[in-house]
Amino acid sequence: MDIDFVVLWVDGNDPEWQKERAKYDKKSIDESNAANRFRDWGLMKYWFRGVEKFAPWVRKVHFVTYGHLPDFLDTSCPKLNIVNHRDYLAERYLPTFNSHTLEMNMHRIPDLAEHFVYFNDDTFLLRPTGEDYFFDPKTGLPKVYCVEMPIRFTGIDIFFQKVMSNDLGITNKNIGKKTVRAKLKGKYLSTGYDLKDNLRNLFMRTLFPEYYTGFKVFHCPASFCISTFRELWEKEPELLERVSMHKFRDSSDVNQWLALYWQMAKGDFSAGALGKDSRLDNITDESIDDICAFIRKPDRTMMCINDPDEHVDFEKLSKQLIDAFENRFPEKCSFEK
């Protein structure tokens, strides 16, 4: 099957983008829209090098951008599709600085394959993958490491947990757990899952037979079908229209996890390692050495490098990361000039 990659990118250093954002940003800064959420670490070229080296089978990469482009990018690369927000978002949604708007309309990207993998720009492929890592070659269903786990609310600022609870509420509103039980056979309990996760799924199915309590979410790429997003828009048009109108992320939003929940809740997936076989790290002075060592010699397929704190030595840490990625990916790829 044809499989595409979609990646969202923003250059937070672009003065025109900053000027445009300032026109609309009237709310106070919180964890959802702080400056570090848009900061560019200069690592995007290594994302492309990882894709070419470890997923050479990908049909096309759809690079979604506000309009700016990395200096290194060769726009004539045949596998590259530059997607401006205006190319697939309705005019009434623009301009947008809300990743949820960009995510929930991904199915409208021109020439997007039915089967696609959504990446954040902070997640990197570090080991070889095949098409069957992301999709079941027999059924065409997305591969997922599906674990039911109650949403945990911790601390005072719980923006992302609120969005997750919105995703779950919409999922339970539309999908009855008992009605899809037959489709979950061999998926909710799988030899590919850890024993504790199989036991957790078994207990959740027994204790909560009517509805889902939440799913374990990994900060990693997710495999989707265009048909899932179309179904969501058919079922919840008013909700998704409201979300898409938000200029910035809002705690009343839903995000791409809704599509992920939807696929798992309906049984429209195949059990796989995607999620479990990834690593998440926050960039700090204390973690940087371990992160760089992992990049140079990874024991998992993917890594997400999260930017959690504005108050770090950005120049120093970014140089260390670039040095580590240069060690892992020393050669230019076809996406570069």
| pLDDT computed for residue 11 by the predictor | 87
Residue-wise burial string across 151-175, b where 16 or more C-beta atoms lie within 10 A, e elsewhere: beeeeeebebbbbbbbbbebbbeeb
| pLDDT computed for residue 31 by the predictor | 47
Please give the Cα distance from 224 to 256 (Å, whole number): 10
| pLDDT computed for residue 12 by the predictor | 82
> Hey, how many other C-beta atoms are within 10 angstroms of the C-beta on 52?
20
| Residue whose structure tokens are 């969005």 | 163
Q: Which pair of tokens denotes residue 108? A: 């409208």
| pLDDT computed for residue 275 by the predictor | 87
Please give the Cα distance from 30 to 254 (Å, whole number): 18
Structural domain boundaries of the chain?
3-328
Helix or strand (DSSP H, E) at 64: strand 60-65
Please give the Cα distance from 30 to 120 (Å, whole number): 20
Helix or strand (DSSP H, E) at 123: strand 123-125
Please give the Cα distance from 169 to 8 (Å, whole number): 26
Please give the Cα distance from 89 to 333 (Å, whole number): 30
Q: How far is CA 88 from the centre of its chain?
A: 18
| Per-residue pLDDT tens digits of the chain, which is 337 residues long | 999 999 999 988 888 888 898 888 865 444 444 554 455 778 999 999 999 999 999 999 999 999 999 999 999 999 999 999 999 999 999 999 999 999 999 999 999 999 999 999 999 999 999 999 999 999 999 999 999 999 888 776 688 899 999 999 999 999 989 889 888 888 989 998 999 999 999 999 999 999 999 999 888 999 999 999 999 999 999 999 999 999 999 999 999 999 999 999 999 999 999 989 999 998 888 999 999 999 999 999 999 998 766 677 888 898 999 999 999 999 999 999 9
Are 275 and 124 contacting, i.e. CB atoms less than 8 angstroms apart? no
Q: What is the architecture, at CATH level 2, of domain 3-328?
A: Alpha-Beta Complex (3.90)
**Helices first, then strands: H and E counts in the chain:** 12, 10
**Cα-atom radius of gyration of the chain, to the nearest Å?**
20
Write the single-letter amino acid at 111: D
> Hey, how many other C-beta atoms are within 10 angstroms of the C-beta on 138?
8
